[in-house]
Structures are given as structure tokens and as C-alpha cells.
């Protein structure tokens, strides 16, 4: 059932070539690149690949909403996935394929855009914008403001950066008067365009103009879209799954931006258009004020770009099951999605520290286990031996007491002895915890190493790809890290093109 919820994905070079020809034919007669060129503002190799794709090829896309200083590592993993797949498709089909990163600068998620995490020698540290937080305002309209505290945190994660040029790119993009969206787009372009990846600014008027007709059509068909989504949600729930995106009754999938007051200021605020008002808004909305929500955006992208495949993260891939009925209800092409490549970037020093501390990955996922293990290792050997002998003696004597009180004529019931055993064990556990706490206080340097290891290897108990900012690694090891990532993504791309399992 699940496969029926997605557009079929080609599984051989010949199938991809046929799919690419179909995609190109769907935009035949449209000069899509000329209209979107200002939104790309592409230069160098990225511009060259776009031009070749516009002339006789297609594009592979991925994307992400703005994140502070570029956001978490997986943003870059997605971009390298698109690059690797575009390169592989070019090799195997002979058709020009341009990788495109859709920078969702029109997104209104303040928390996603305003916070990032870096691993330092003292542990995990968060960098955040001062705010105030906004609600319903596109990040392309929100100024960065004072960046000094956040920039100081980033510097702490970079250490003695050998590649200062990376930080110069960050500082050129992230200036107080710039918007969150504009800074993000500028940094992504600075680092991705040299690799041949074009970055599309989703908030740019050129894209809004190109998508305007599609979005008005989506408004006119909002009732049909809503019904199609309702049916798909029933299918998903009937199969024992939960829909990735909630369908809100009475609201279309189209946003409309209007000027509204927020506190003492006027802001351009995005709001979902009610289905009841959709036809009227389709007729009267000012050009450039409409936008797509998460389920409509992939269909809109496929309508304005010759996209053969979107490289999706796990959450995105899940909601593509709800994208197909949206496209069908609109009479539009159903976009093809594939799972992105994922990776973990771990420094050799981190692995050496893990070995020295003797900590497993599982212990680092637990918020306290690693500290307990290290504290026990640091405990005075005589004290540790005495504690262990005390525990064994206690267990032995309680067992003997229980045996001596067995029988019908025992002065107390057996559950009394069991209660005594639990009480004594509890007291011993509490005493051991107090001893370990004392050891922790004395061994601050070792515990600082644990914090640093957890921050680098399992921050918040998760993969570093999902939590950590990539800029510190780029500053220490150079932009070549990105090229190494794209090379590592090649087996995944090859597997997608040929329909075989990826091998390292």
C-alpha cells in the first residue's frame, strides 16, 4: 500500500532517461530559467550547469529552511546528495543535470532559523539570535539584529581556524541589517556555487511571479485538494500509520502575505487562505503575495522547474505520501522523491578521546550513564573494592537471614526480610551515588572531556548530523570537506540510479 502513495521512481539509467525526457516535455515552450534567473542569481560553475540544463537537460533538487549560520549538518548532506545524484545521472544518461538547492527563505519557523549548536572543548553550546521571536513572518522579512553573542559561540566551536576564509564568508553574510533569509541564501551560495550547485531564493519576487498562476489554480481547486488529502489521510491511518502533516479543516494549502501589526511594528504576515475564501483570493490577490505550504511546495516546484527528483530527509519523504493526491487533484505532475544520503563527520581526535575514556555510543546517548562510568573508573581502587565487597557481603548475609527464618514457626514473615533487603540495598545505592558525586566534583577535567565527547559524537543523544553546525569543521578543515562529502555520497547516488543497494 505504501508504495502506491508515491510517484514511481526509476530504477535504471534507461528509466531515468525516459523520465527526464517526460519532465522536459512537460515544460516545453517555457523559458523557465530566464524567468527564474534573478531568484537563482547563479555564478560560475552553478550558472553553467543551470544553462546546460535549461537548454537540453533537467534538474535534481533538495532544500531546507534557513538555519543560523547555515543550520545543522544535514542541510549540507542534502546538498551533497543532490550534487552526487546530478553527477551520476549525467554520467549514466548523457543528459545535462543541474543540482539545485531550494533555500526556503519564505519559511516562518523562527526557532529553526534562530538557533544552532556547536561542539566545544567544554561541551555542547547553543548560539541564538536575540530576537524577539516572530510568528507567521517569513525569514526573508526578519532582520538578524545583534549577532555578537551568537558569533562568539560559533568562534568557540571553531577554535584556531586554519581556514579563515570560511569565517569571512559567514561574516560577510551575517550582518545585523541583513534578514535571516538573505544571510542564509548568501552563505549557501558562497559555499555551494563553487561545487556547481545553484541556490534558489524561495522568497524572491521572480519565483513568486513564476508560481503565481499555479498558486491561483491551487486556490480555485482547494476544495478538491482538501477532499483528496482527507481520503489519503484515511488510507494512511487505515494502514496503521500517522500522517506526517496534519490536514486542517477549512484551510487551503496556499499562504497569503498581508501587512499586519505585531506589537508596535507592521509586519508582512503569512496566513493560510480559508477554503471558503479561496476563489475570491484567487481573483483579487496582489501578484507576489501567494505562497505554498509544505504539501503544495513540491508540486509547485515541479510546475516551475524540470525536476526529475527531490532528495528528501526522513520527515519529508514521509509527507510525500500526502503530496501525490495534491498533485493529482490539481491535474499536475506528481513529483518524484528519493531518500537523501546521510553521514556523520567525526574527527579522529574525537574517536581517540572515546577510546581513552572507554565509553560506548549507548552510554553517550544516555544523559548520565557516561558520567557514572567515568566516575567509577576514577574511584580509588581500594574504595571501589571495599564498596563491591560490602555489596556482596550484604547480599550473602541477607540470603542467609532469609534461609534461617524459613519455615512456619519463623518469628517474622519472609516479606519482612525482603523489605529489609530492599531497604539496605536502597541505602547502599544512595551512598554509592554520593560517593560518585564526590568523585565527579574532584574529577572536573575528566568530566569536561566527557561533555566534549558527547557534544561531538552524540549531542542531545542524537547523530551530530541532526544537531551540530558544520561551519566549525569547515573553518578547521576547509571547504574541501564538502567535496569529500559529495564523493562519499556517490555510492548512494549510484544505487538510486541503478536500483541496487548502496555499498561503501
pLDDT recorded at residue 470? 98
What does the alpha-carbon distance between residue 309 and residue 311 come to, in Å, rounded to a whole number? Answer: 6
Q: Identify whether 48 is part of a domain.
A: no
Number of domains in the chain: 1
Burial of 441 (0-12, 13-18, 19+ CB in 10 A): exposed
Q: Where are the extended beta strands (E) located within 275-363?
A: 290-292, 307-312, 337-339
What does the alpha-carbon distance between residue 382 and residue 197 come to, in Å, rounded to a whole number? Answer: 61
pLDDT recorded at residue 179? 97
pLDDT recorded at residue 372? 66
∠ CA(456), CA(462), CA(464), 5° rounding?
40
Q: Identify whether 496 is part of a domain.
A: no
Q: Identify whether 494 is part of a domain.
A: no
Provide the domain limits for residue 393.
349-462
Helix (H) or strand (E) holding 271: strand 265-274
pLDDT tens for the chain, residues 1 to 504: 467 899 999 999 999 999 999 999 999 989 999 999 999 999 999 999 999 999 999 999 999 999 999 999 999 999 999 999 999 999 999 999 999 999 999 999 999 999 999 999 889 999 999 988 888 899 999 999 999 999 999 999 998 877 999 999 999 999 999 999 999 999 999 999 999 999 999 999 999 999 999 999 999 999 999 999 999 999 999 999 999 999 999 999 999 998 776 666 667 788 999 999 999 999 999 999 999 999 999 999 999 999 999 999 999 999 999 999 999 999 999 999 999 999 999 999 999 988 888 888 888 887 777 666 666 666 556 566 777 788 888 888 878 777 777 766 677 777 777 788 788 888 888 887 777 776 666 567 777 888 888 899 999 999 999 999 999 999 999 999 999 999 999 999 999 999 886 544
Q: Identify whether 60 is part of a domain.
A: no
Q: CA 1 → CA 227, 237, 404, distances in Å?
A: 20, 12, 64
Amino acid at each position: 500500500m505504501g508504495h502506491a502513495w508515491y510517484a514511481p521512481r526509476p530504477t535504471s539509467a534507461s528509466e531515468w532517461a525516459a523520465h527526464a525526457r517526460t519532465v522536459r516535455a512537460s515544460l516545453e515552450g517555457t523559458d523557465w530559467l530566464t524567468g527564474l534567473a534573478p531568484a537563482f542569481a547563479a555564478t560560475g560553475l552553478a550558472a553553467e550547469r543551470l544553462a546546460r540544463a535549461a537548454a537540453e537537460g533537467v534538474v535534481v533538487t533538495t532544500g531546507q529552511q534557513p538555519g543560523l549560520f547555515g543550520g545543522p549538518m544535514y542541510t549540507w548532506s542534502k546538498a551533497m546528495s543532490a550534487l552526487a545524484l546530478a553527477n551520476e545521472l549525467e554520467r549514466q544518461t548523457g543528459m545535462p543535470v543541474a543540482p539545485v538547492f531550494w533555500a526556503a527563505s519564505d519559511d516562518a519557523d523562527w526557532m529553526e532559523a534562530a538557533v544552532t549548536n556547536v561542539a566545544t572543548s567544554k561541551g555542547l553550546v547553543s548560539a541564538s539570535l536575540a530576537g524577539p521571536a516572530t510568528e507567521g513572518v517569513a525569514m526573508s522579512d526578519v532582520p538578524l539584529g545583534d549577532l555578537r553573542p551568537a558569533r562568539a559561540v560559533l568562534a568557540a566551536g571553531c577554535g584556531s581556524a586554519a581556514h579563515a576564509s570560511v569565517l569571512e564568508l559567514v561574516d560577510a553574510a551575517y550582518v545585523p541589517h541583513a534578514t535571516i533569509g538573505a544571510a542564509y541564501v548568501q552563505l549557501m551560495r558562497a559555499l555551494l556555487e563553487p561545487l556547481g550547485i545553484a541556490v534558489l531564493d524561495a522568497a524572491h519576487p521572480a519565483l513568486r511571479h513564476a508560481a503565481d498562476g499555479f498558486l491561483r489554480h491551487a486556490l480555485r481547486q482547494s476544495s478538491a485538494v482538501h477532499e483528496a488529502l482527507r481520503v489519503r489521510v484515511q488510507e494512511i491511518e487505515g494502514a496503521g500509520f500517522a500522517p506526517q502533516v496534519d490536514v486542517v479543516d477549512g484551510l487551503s494549502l496556499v499562504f497569503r502575505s498581508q501587512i499586519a501589526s505585531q506589537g508596535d511594528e507592521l509586519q508582512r504576515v503569512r496566513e493560510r487562505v480559508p477554503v471558503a475564501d479561496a476563489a475570491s483570493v484567487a481573483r483579487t490577490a496582489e501578484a507576489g503575495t501567494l505562497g505554498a505550504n509544505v504539501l503544495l511546495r513540491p508540486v509547485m516546484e515541479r510546475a516551475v522547474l524540470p525536476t526529475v527528483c527531490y532528495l528528501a530527509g526522513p520527515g519529508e519523504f514521509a509527507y510525500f505520501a500526502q503530496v501525490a493526491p495534491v498533485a493529482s487533484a490539481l491535474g499536475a505532475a506528481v513529483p518524484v522523491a528519493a531518500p537523501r544520503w546521510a553521514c556523520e563527520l567525526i574527527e579522529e581526535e574525537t574517536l581517540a578521546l572515546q577510546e581513552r575514556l572507554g565509553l560506548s555510543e549507548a552510554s553517550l546517548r544516555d544523559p548520565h550513564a557516561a558520567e557514572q562510568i567515568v566516575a567509577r573508573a576514577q574511584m580509588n581502587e581500594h574504595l571501589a573494592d571495599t564498596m563491591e565487597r560490602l555489596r556482596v557481603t550484604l547480599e550473602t548475609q541477607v540470603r542467609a537471614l532469609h534461609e534461617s527464618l524459613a519455615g512456619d514457626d519463623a518469628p517474622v514473615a519472609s516479606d519482612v526480610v525482603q523489605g529489609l533487603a530492599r531497604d539496605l540495598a536502597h541505602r547502599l545505592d544512595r551512598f554509592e551515588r554520593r560517593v560518585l558525586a564526590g568523585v565527579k566534583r574532584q574529577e572536573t577535567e575528566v568530566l569536561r572531556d566527557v561533555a566534549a565527547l558527547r557534544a561531538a559524537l552524540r549531542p542531545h543523544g542524537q547523530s551530530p548530523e541532526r544537531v551540530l553546525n558544520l561551519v566549525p569543521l569547515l573553518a578547521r578543515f576547509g571547504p574541501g570537506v564538502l567535496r569529500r562529502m559529495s564523493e562519499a555520497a556517490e555510492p548512494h547516488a549510484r544505487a538510486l540510479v541503478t536500483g541496487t543497494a548502496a555499498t561503501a
